[in-house]
Amino acid sequence: LWLLCVWIRSSWTSFLKSIASFSGDLSSMTAPPFILSPVSLTEFPAYWCEYPDLFAAIADGKTEEHRALAVLRWFISTLKGQYTSRNESMGSEKKPLNPVLGELFYGTWPSTNTTLLVEQVSHHPPITAYRIANQAKGLVLTGHNAQKTSFSAGSIIVKQIGHATLVVDLPSGEKEEYLITLPRLRIDGLWYGSPYIELAETSYIQGSNGWLSTIEYKGKGYFSGKSHTFKAILKPPTSDHKTEVIEGTWHTTSKTSSGMTFHDVSPPKEEVTVKSIEEQTEWESRKLWGAVAKGIREGDFESASREKSRIENEQRQRRKDEAAASTPWQLKHFKHIESDPTYERLGKLFKANPPTEDAYIFLDNAPPA
Ligand code: 0T9
């Protein structure tokens, strides 16, 4: 046991050293086995809907204010899953599997008839595009994710690139849109070999109705002294409504300034439902990574790494063949656009930085259920 500890320690220390001297794409870096997760990043967009009722409730808001509050409540309620669930299920934050170009992940939340579709739209740098829809409620969330990582004061700093747009079809036939930006992450606890995420800085939710949520994130040692603290300010477009202030910790509960509970993520979440591996196609994440995931779960890192190399070599060969035949890889469900008009229009209202971003437009070709 002593020997094992010494070995883990030295492989972890040399891993940390390689992170520290590294800038750019952490996802492609080799990490020691004990920090590997058997789950691919293409599964992460499912975190957006683990409380599908809160998502559906957005459509039930009778006024602009009610809907803006419902969007904020749903958004805050996703953070626990997005940023702490690996700690809960695996004991610490872990390095996810780095998706291959064209990797797919499909799922549903049967309780509310909500569907999830994810496609890895770039491998280098890794970019994941997703769409979540509740058709009956007239709700569609579309977004993409990438990360820029750096190392500072012993922590990994992750700047999230990308954004999401939520479109709400109102009974009047009008469409209401919300632009959602993403918080900055700090990965702490690295020296102890048990990494966890803290959120930092500010993210925004800007509605086309003018309502703007500004969400500020703080960790331990800042004003409240508690980890995972946030303060959200929901500002109305005109002075005939009042500004709402919500404070709390995003992994537990929060309250409005009048003391009412605003969000509470203690009820059980509904994990996404996915077809069995036998029913999946070769490009679907759990099928594609099946052997690697099995190796990681069973502690058979030799076969995990062998299978991972096989997948990576196949990918390299595919890219070579495409280059030789001048037939670049075609995305299946999305079309890339250089600048997103929704981001530009809504981003202007709160001086979003950067003023423009690219996006992936859904091609409206979800596979039959
Ligand atoms: C979008 C989310 C994102 C993806 C992950 C930084 C990270 C990859 C991106 C931002 C989701 O909506 C939310 C949650 C967790 C984020 C991951 C945490 C993480 O550590 C990885 C990076 C690439 C690493 O694996 C770093 C190496 C490792 C030693 C740290 C555990």
What are 169's strand-pairing partners? Answer: 175
Task: Determine which residue's CA is closest to atom 23 belonging to ligand 1.
Answer: 27
Q: Which atom of ligand 1 is nearest to the CA of 92?
A: 31
Our answer on whether the CB atom of 144 is closer than 6 Å to any ligand 1 atom is no
What is this structure's pTM?
0.96
Instruction: State the pairing for strand pair 95-97/36-40.
Output: parallel
**Cβ contact 184:201 at 8 Å:** yes
Is 31 a pocket residue for ligand 1 (Cβ < 6 Å)? yes
What the block records as the tokens of 330 is 């075609």
Average per-residue pLDDT in the chain?
95
pLDDT of 210 strictly over 90: yes
Predicted local confidence at residue 222, as pLDDT: 62
Give SS3 for 176.
strand
CA distance 213 to 234: 4
**DSSP 8-state secondary structure symbol assigned to residue 326:** T
DSSP 3-state of 233: strand
pLDDT on residue 23:
66
Alpha-helical segments (H) within 152-235: none
Tens of pLDDT, residue by residue over 41-97, are 999 999 999 999 999 999 999 999 999 999 999 999 999 999 999 999 999 999 999
CA distances, 44 to each of 47, 146, 249, 286, 363 (Å): 6, 12, 21, 13, 21
Distance 41 CA to ligand 1 centre (A): 8
DSSP 232: E
ipTM comes to: 0.98
Interval 326-344 mean pLDDT: 98
Residue 88 C-alpha from the chain's centroid: 17
- Phi, psi dihedrals of residue 196, rounded to the nearest 5°: -145, 160
User: Other C-beta atoms within 10 Å of 75: how many?
Assistant: 24
36-40 and 114-122 strand pairing:
unpaired
Containing 89, the helix (H) or strand (E) segment is helix 64-90
Ligand 1 atom nearest the C-alpha of 96 is 25
Give pLDDT, residue 159: 97
The tokens for 326 are 């001048």
